[in-house]
Amino acid sequence: MLMGTSTDEATSFAMLDRYLDAGGSFVDTANCYAWWPAPGNTGGESETVLGRRLARGRRDQVFLATKGGAWVTDPDRWRGSGEATRYSGAGAGTLRRELDESLRRLGTDHVDLYYVHVDDPATPLEETLEALAGLVAAGKIRHLGWSNVRTWRLERVRTS
C-alpha cells in the first residue's frame, strides 16, 4: 500500500523479492495507493513501483490484484480533514479508464483480480456489472471482486 510513498523504491523491491522468494504470490494494490501519507502523494505510486519491479521479471510468479473506483481527485483537500472523502465511483467510464491507467502503471496487459474498491450506490449496479463483464471479455481482468460493500449489496451483486 505504501510502496512509492512512505516505503521507498529500493525497500519496496527488496520486500517484494523476499516475499516471492519465500513462496508468496498474491500481490494486492489499488490505484489510489497511497494519496494520504503526505502532500504531493496523489495515488498510483504503489502501482508504479510494483510495475517497475515486475518489468524486471517475475510477473509470471505473481497473482496481481488491484482496485478501482476509489480514486481521489483532490487529495490535498481530503488529507487529514476528517471529512468523508469523495471517490471516483464505479461508473462504466470510470472503471474502464482507471483500469487502463492501472495497467499502464503496472506495466501489464491484465490483472488477475480487479476489485471495485468502494461501493457506489449512485451508479446503477447493472452499469457497473456490464462494464466489468466487458473488461473480462477484453482479457484485461481474469477475476472480479468487490470490497467495502455491505453484505446485502454484495448478495445483490452476486445474483445479478
State yes or no: is 87 an active-site residue. Answer: no
Angle (nearest 5°) at CA 89 between 157 and 49: 105
Residue 152: all three cell numbers together: 446485502
Report how far residue 160's alpha carbon sits from residue 148's, in angstroms, rounded to the nearest whole number: 18
**Single-letter residue type at 144:** L
Strand segments, DSSP code E, in 3-153 are 26-28, 63-68, 111-116, 141-146
Cell of 137: 471479455
Single out the catalytic residue among 19, 33, 87, 115: 33
Residues that are catalytic: 33
